[in-house]
Structure 1
Amino acid sequence: MKSEKARTEGGLREGDTAPDFEGLTQTGQRFRLRDCRGRWVVLYFYPRDHTPGCTREACEFRDWHGALDRSGAVVVGVSTDTVASHARFADKYRLPFVLVADSDGTICRMYGVRGQKRFLGRSFEGTLRTTFLIDPEGRIRRVWRRVRPAGHAEAVLKALEELRGATGGG
């Protein structure tokens, strides 16, 4: 779960401005990234609702949500699933954060997290599990690519606390 500074295949890197986007959440409300200015944002992209790795990642962010919130961060999950799928997923696992539906993959492409994946010998385009930690000014401060769900939320919290300490808390 190393942070990556190098740009990879159209992906964003640390220091870049996080592209603004809007989309519908699991409750049907409009979410706009720009509305989070002034707060830290944990923006995580994941492949599919209700799958083992994605469920584990979401539940870890749920379990660490209180600590992330106390550290000043908003957690936002994005996948290409529908609003209805997100609603079922969030309800089933009691997720206390926003899930944004990116059904056409626009947000994923904007962040460079769509790419070739392999599963059971088959190659296909899908969402690459990636997390961006965005500062209150809208700059990407950390990027995790090829995320392994186990322990990821805790690693994000640790990076957030280190960065907050280095910047005086902002």
Structure 2
Amino acid sequence: MTETTGTWLTQEAYDRLQAEYDHLVNVGRAAIAKEIDERRQEGDLKENGGYHAARDEQAKMEARIEELRRKLADATVGEPTFDGTIASGTVVTAEVMGREMRFLVGSREIADGTDLDVFSAQSPLGAALLGRKAGDETSYEAPNGKQITVTVIAAEPFTG
């Protein structure tokens, strides 16, 4: 899997996101519409904090629905093939600025319930590691402009 093929998700993560999407679309929308209608019944909308709060909540929910829709539509589901090369779905142990770190290159959704830090494949660190193997050295430019050297110690597929 490469960074251009979408988000890699385990079946469990995909199912969890699909369930959240289904709940928001089928239950959440109806509940927030009812809440907005009840607040609208209270009178003057200009001074109705409950109404405005419900509308804000509706906007947040719709943004999350759209985010989930895009993720699910672009997702690659299953176990990643692993040949030792770092790709989305790889747990990496690396030395970064003299400190050993262990993290997942991928999406935060698949690491839910683990103690792994997550770097997306599009992040500066994740992008620098794509295609690398244990023993490789690379670098990336930090947001402050500093070059950060990274040495890959180990790479393994994420197993949940």
Same fold per superposition (TM over 0.5): no
Query: TM tier, shorter chain?
Result: under 0.3
Point out which structure has higher relative CO (alpha carbons under 8 A, 6+ apart). Answer: 1
TM-score of the superposed pair, with normalisation by structure 1: 0.24
